[in-house]
Chains A and B, each alone.
Chain A
Amino acid sequence: MSASTIPASAAPESAADAALVTDYRQGNERAAAELVRRHAPALGRFLYSSGADRDDVEDLVQETLFRAFRRLDTWHGGASFRSWLMAIGGNLLRDQFRKRAGRIVPMEDRDVPDRADPHADLAAGETEERVRKGIAGLPRLQREVFLLRAQEGNGYEQIAAALGTTPGAARVHYHNAVKRLKELVR
């Protein structure tokens, strides 16, 4: 297996997703619930890592899933179901950023975990927070390619299928993202 191909473990996952999608289309709501259960946490992490406010993540996840289920016919299995969800979530987040463009709050001033907050079990280290801000500040394709690879282990072909680009371009976006971000952990 080449290092950039889809991990072997992803194939059964994709097959299971495809079966669940088929079941849901045939009216089985439990299949939809199972798809949500399988992918909602990863989708939440993707959105949070992309710069979503922590308090918005749950709503964004729900909205992403709602939109995805309403247009399931546009998922053809070229990308994994999860990558496809993340692409939809990325679009949603971009729309949210645009709407808020007139009242942007710099990342430095928002959503940094309050050390005195007992619910701040996130307890993100300084490096983690710096990296998150760095990822959020990347151009959109760099950000999404980087996260699909770093958090999902997706190969470039799968990323390209999810984001509507080419594997070569995805590779370039990934390396540009890494080049910018690794300065943050030195």
Chain B
Amino acid sequence: MSICDWLSDRMPSVALGETEWTPEEARHLGDCAPCNAEWRLLQTASRLGSAARLVPDPHATARAVLLRLGRPEPRFSARSWVFSALAAASIAAVMWVGGRGAAGNPGSEGTPVAAGLPMPLPELDALQPAELDSVLTTMDDSSSSPVPGDDVGLGDLDSEELQQVLDTWEG
């Protein structure tokens, strides 16, 4: 290992004040321009940001982190399940009706609508990502499988949710 490589390996610990240069090493640093440039780089990089109070109050940061950790994870409510399942059923119905209509057109026989043109479903825009996932995963069996939380009926939906369901049914 050359002295340049040796010094290069030692630079971080010397820059951080963990060790010191020997007189011989210090002499080499003064004479060797590449080593000198690397040493100045390490000195600069090791103190970057140290003059700034980037995290002014670590105790406040700790409190904020603990507060967030103590919060319960957002839960998917029974009402959300019902809403999602109803939306899924509505989508399935629209696709089924659309499929029947398409089957009657010349040249479209046997072509599932869902596999053809993209179908705009603005109702989906109102769903949260988790609700949308639920819709997509229940599309295949939404008409036959029991709905989690199905003891909650349409009467439990608020007016906006109910209107969205009705809008879906009415196309």
Q: Mark B14-40, 1 if CB is under 8 A from A, else 0.
A: 011010000000000000001001101
Q: How many residues of chain B are within 8 Å of chain A by beta carbon? A: 38
A152 to B41, CA, bound (A): 15
Residue in contact with A62 in the complex, picked from B16, B47, B65, CB distance below 8 Å? B65
Question: In the complex, how many angstroms separate the beta carbon of B5 from the nearest chain A beta carbon?
Answer: 9
Question: In the complex, how many angstroms separate the beta carbon of B62 from the nearest chain A beta carbon?
Answer: 4
Question: In the complex, how many angstroms separate the beta carbon of A101 from the nearest chain B beta carbon?
Answer: 22
A19 to B143, CA, bound (A): 53
Known A3-B10, A54-B52, A58-B54; contact A69-B69, beta-carbon cutoff 8 A? yes
* Interface residues of chain A: helix, strand, loop or mixed (majority): helix
A70 to B47, CA, bound (A): 30
A-B contact count (CB 8 A): 128
Question: In the complex, how many angstroms separate the beta carbon of A30 from the nearest chain B beta carbon?
Answer: 9
A127–B55 contact, CB under 8 A? Answer: no
Chain B interfacial positions (CB closer than 8 Å to A)? 6, 8-10, 12-13, 15-16, 18, 34, 37-38, 40-42, 44-56, 58-59, 61-66, 68-69
Chain A interfacial positions (CB closer than 8 Å to B)? 2-4, 7, 9, 29, 32-33, 36-37, 40-41, 43-45, 47-49, 54, 57-58, 61-62, 65-66, 69-70, 121-124, 127-128, 131-132, 135, 146-147, 149-153, 175, 178, 181-186
Given contacts A132-B48, A153-B12, A183-B37, 10 further A-B contacts (CB under 8 A): A3-B13, A33-B62, A36-B61, A37-B58, A40-B61, A61-B61, A121-B53, A151-B45, A181-B41, A185-B40
